[in-house]
Structure 1
């Protein structure tokens, strides 16, 4: 009797394990179908990657293993944020199931690793890069943590927050900055004091330390500005 119960238990466990594996196979089949379709229609850049989440099949239901090749079809032939996939089996006992696949494009973005305060300088100890849902990144996020080293915060940020353009300044008010004045065949370097905050590509008022003249220059880098003459 004990041997019989042990054998019965083994058969049940084996069946359960096999059924679970086949559910995984169906989910992986749907995921690959969406992956291939998405990549045939879209091109990700080096700072993006595709994240697909398949809604698990109900483990209370039985999914008989198909004895012929599975047939997959993306409903409406359209990749959406929530994409439906139809999987059919056409063997002697045909069946059809629908799976839902969540489609997210993740983008590399810089975040703070710990809580940081207004005025604090960003560096390798408090900035890192993570991949995040692209739809959640708006208003000027940064891809490279290294590009932020040396910048200062204009507001408090809690741990894991995305660093946006409005949160930092590459040139901050009262910073000592290098002024590069250029003309055809001629370049002059001077020093000055920033009178306002600005980021790369923005304009800032700067007082020349030698002449005390106030100029409007374009920020070109960390504590660097450029003016043409």
Structure 2
């Protein structure tokens, strides 16, 4: 009986000196969830962690586990969380995690062609997994309304920031109003745009009277402003 109790005591003592895998995984998932919530406001987030090799034994971390994000890491999709123990027997383990974040994002409600200027009726919201949207997404239709598509999209397709541009307010060959401003005085004249442009872009224009080619900033529909 005494020998049996002694063996049991040694077994329990040995087990107490090993960090439970469950505690490591819980720390990794908790950290990933907290980080994802910080950057993905409003998203429905789920986190899972890959099991740790059952043959791996690590000293118990009496000072508590410290979780961290490896340099260059991201907290969405397939990611990695570092778990560090800074106690008398320090160690570091990298735990693979999978972070799923779903959020309502802007989509096209019907097929749209390149160059189309978007209206609210052509846009909707649909829930998507953000890990598959590496090129970004929009969360409000107002972020896309009035913008111009740089590529065609299909019905239900996510509208991403890189697909949008400011609408053209001046078109090449168009007759435009040239507004020359200097010393608080504005003088208007007519000209022909030599290139297309959106608000704020520099465009060359030929003055219809002098035939002089000047460069100005697109300030509105059919208007080029030249500040002296």
**TM-score calculated relative to the size of structure 2:** 0.47
Q: Whose Rg is larger?
A: 2
